[in-house]
Amino acid sequence: MKIGFEHGKLDGIKSEAVVVGVFEKFQGFKFEGGGDFKKEAAAARFTGGSGEAFFALDRIGRPQKLVLFVGLGPKESYSPAEARLAAAAAVRKLGERFVRSALFVLWAEACKGKIEDAVSAIAEGVILTSARFERYITDKDRHSKQLESAAIWLEKRSAKAEDGLKLGRTLSDAVLFSRDLITAPSNEITPAYLAEEAVSLAKAYGFKAKIMDEKECAKLGMGAYLAVGAGSANPPRFIHLSYKPKNAKFTLGIIGKGMTFDSGGISLKPGEGMGAMKSDMSGAAAVLGAMKAVGELKPKVGVEMVVAACENMPSGSAYRPGDILTSMSGKTIEVQNTDAEGRLTLADALTYMQKQGVDQVVDLATLTGACVVALGTDIAGVMGNDEKFIGELTQLSGVSGDQLWQLPLQKDYRRFIKSPVADICNISRVRWGGAITAGLFLQFFVDEKTPWAHIDIAGPAYRDDDLGECHRAEGAGFGVRLLVRHILRKQGKA
């Protein structure tokens, strides 16, 4: 998509449509030589509230263009998040009229915080909502055509706004890369495929790539990870990308759960909804997408990325309930449910990552249904051993659009994952607090001196409805923007 800026009179713009954002308590908006649209707004019961939108009855300007009003909510709380949602809502409405080009007047200068964050958010809302996953649809007329070009209106030119637009484009491209990996089916996205994508990124951006097969992982003692992948005909691949810029004073370790399909293994999942388990590698897609953005932006911050990619399948070679596994750390794990598999792969990935000399570690994983019960489908749970680190991520989530809410790592709950025959059990012996006990399991494999955060993205990773700039039955690319903004913050650029 083409996207840029416009400055000047709105009625002279050549776009097919003008999107005008208005704040609550709509008092009309007057174009040159036109009315204020108060009557039309009243008829549509439009007040400027967040999420509201309506097409004016009259066209304006020469050449004539449609006018779409979108609500921005209260002016005093207008933020990049609201701007992003307004842009996304506008794109959906424009699609109803088959509009191919539009100007977005969303008052970036009025947003809280930096203008570059506002511009980036608007660009993300426009670009991401306009993109649809149609790779396997042969009827190309099935969906209405989306925007082909867009412009963001500003009162005056701004170098910082230009920086924001560049960042918005880069983040959007990275998110779309991640979404494609999540949405594509598991007969295409195998562990080997993810490894190939990682190698392609390494070649494109000069990263160091290390791909390990079963034999190499066995030499390192990755008994937990290898057990999960043992039942599949598609062999596991342990993926490590390394970005080491000169004079970097900080290195972030990012880990993504890479379950390219999760049947539940011997503890087989119900058939209903199992098709969505192609998205169980959303954490891997997020960290790969983040690396794509890192390659484009070239921050002066080191990044180590790890994905323990595999499939969890039932077969004669699959691991079983009752098995005891020895992890890379040397700690032993009693398996009581083979559908609690992601934490086993992450245990070895965390141990491996801590040997890479990183300053912080964050893992992203579609880990528990319990987190979805607690926080719903739009918010990810974050927990960890360093309050400052968690605070950094939570604050940035308000800018990135990846919503986080902290859950406690309640020490007393460790009693629920104690095993009488091994060091730890892979699942709690009670139903309650499943997201927390999963986090406690992971913490068992993290050194106390390593600042670590775990983000359970089970809810927002894969969409079951159209929300914001995401589309139903598609991956959301949740976490890409959060990770990239955290990396940029560490070098003082975000």
Of the candidates 345, 329, 323, the one whose C-alpha atom is nearest the C-alpha of residue 445 is: 329
Q: Is-cis flag, bond preceding 74, omega within 30? A: no
Which residues make beta-bridge pairs with 406? Answer: 382
Question: Is 269 annotated in the active site?
Answer: yes
Spatial separation of the C-alpha atoms in residues 459 and 372, rounded to whole Å: 5
Question: What is the rounded CA–CA span in Å between residue 377 and residue 124?
Answer: 20
Question: Alpha helix (H) ranges present in 376-456?
Answer: 387-400, 434-443
- Distance separating alpha carbons of residues 232 and 213, to the nearest angstrom: 14
Length of the chain: 494
Check: CB of residue 257 under 8 Å from CB of residue 380: no
Please pick, among 38, 92, 114, 269, the residue that the annotation labels catalytic: 269
Q: In Å, how far from its chain's centre is CA 409?
A: 23
Strands 251-262, 302-312: parallel, antiparallel or unpaired by DSSP? parallel
Pairing outcome for strands 237-243 and 302-312: antiparallel
Catalytic residue among 93, 278, 343, 490: 343
Residue 411 DSSP symbol? G
The phi and psi torsions of 210 (rounded to 5 degrees) equal -135, 120
Residue pair 15/4 in contact by the 8 Å Cβ criterion: no
Query: Nearest CA to 268 among 233, 228, 324, 312?
Result: 312
Please state, in angstroms and as integers, the Cα–Cα distance from residue 149 to each residue in 13, 174, 360, following that order. 13, 19, 40
Cα–chain center distance at 399: 13
Are 147 and 102 a contacting pair, CB within 8 Å?
A: yes
Show which residues are catalytic.
269, 343
